[in-house]
Amino acid sequence: MRVTRAEPVLVHAAGDVPAADEYYFLSNLDQNVAVLMKTVHVFSPSRARDDAAAVIMDALGRVLVHYYPFQGSLVVSADDGRLSVRNDRRGVPFVVADADCELKEVGDVVLSAPDAAAVQEQLVFVGRSNSEEKEDDELGAPLLSVQVTRFRCGGFVLGLAMNHCLADGVAAAEFLRSWAEMARGVPLSSPPFLDRTVLRARTSPTVAFPHEEFAEMEDVSGLAGLREEPRVHRAFAIDADRLARLKRQACACSTFVALTAFVWRATSRAMRMRPEQKSKLMFAVDGRWRVDPPLPRGFCGNAVVFACCVSTAGDLLGGPVSAAARWIQDAIRRTADAFIRSAIDYVEVDGGRAPSMTATTLVTAWNRLGFHAADFGWGEAAQSGPAELPRGEVVMFMRDVRDGSIVVLLGLPRSCIVAADEQNIIGNFHDQTYIPYKYKADFNDNNY
């Protein structure tokens, strides 16, 4: 696939925005996630409109009136090193592009295109003004960039690059739905609540929990050497019957808990951790309704904290999957107001150090965010999801909108994935579960 991009146009709020300070406050939960979150949203030819790009761009200007920080610039304070948004009306780069093929020729742009990384790179515009800027220099990129790529069949892909410090998955999905409502000419069903000071650290910060999510796990298994290996990525689709069997094995009432317990054990085994190696599991928990009082409806920002479980690999792999599931349930129950306030204060006291990822599995669940539900006037997206393969220790859960199955996308060092294949560590649900080939993608880092 070859994509030709037109020159970007800067889109600004199409109307008066509320009076605001020069700098927009970002909470401690926003500070450690200043990375670009790239997503793609595929609209099929049967529902697309010829003027889709114009409709989307016009609606963007109108929704920015409500989400005015999204058109600003990310800056770092010289005094304390904190991130904030300068309300300078920098604007949102908007690019219209044309592909030289039909959508069906590309395949599944979210999961299983043979050259997925190359395809996704052409569908998302990061909006850097200087092509020589370092790829990880997020201060050099706009907070939000948009690309609409038109295909010969009439379908198109909406590609977004949004700085994660602006929004977690819930807030990003609400922004997309609000944008779509502007396109349809209807009032916002959930106007954004932009005041993030409700998650400010306490005047006298109090760290009341150990917060093992930030703790460094001693490497006694030689895991550091595996970081030099290329990663191989796999996507597995798990249908309702297989999920039901797994939930029975885990004795868990939640699909998330059962699947997370299985993945934590599988990745720890695949990484060949020694029995005495401490293995850490981290996963995001939405704190919107867990703080007291709950956050206002439409809260726009990062409201998730990382729940954490730590076990020796020996205990984790020597016990049943139901034991791991119980630990996960306990961690979820601990994530109440006191824990969340303590986590915010921990970042205040510690200076914003990012969580350690040694011997860690980090699970992020996209399957309930509802990105695909945004209707710009021609129906929901046929596909919607991340436009990047997971990095490092991250495991993604997504929902296949075609059949409702849960897709698990993960990457492991090459030697670990080979060992996992030989022992059927990942594919084995204790009953030789069959993974259909069309849902199994082997992405080799050497190919992109």
Backbone phi and psi for residue 304, each to the nearest 5 degrees, phi listed first: -100, 145
State the catalytic residues: 164, 375
Which residues make Cβ contacts (< 8 Å) with residue 46, sequence separation at least 6? none
Report the DSSP beta bridge partners of residue 398: 407
* Structure tokens belonging to residue 180: 């779509």
Rounded Cα distance between 251 and 239, Å, is 18
Q: Is there a contact between 185 and 376 (Cβ–Cβ < 8 Å)?
A: no
Tell how far CA 393 is from the center of its chain.
13
Question: How far is Cα 74 from Cα 18, in angstroms, rounded to an integer?
Answer: 19
User: What are the DSSP calls for 207-262, one per residue?
Assistant: --S--GGGSPPP--S-GGGGGGSPEEEEEEEE-HHHHHHHHHHHT-S-HHHHHHHH
Q: Is beta strand 278-286 parallel, antiparallel or unpaired with respect to 360-365?
A: parallel
Distance CA 298, CA 203 (A): 26
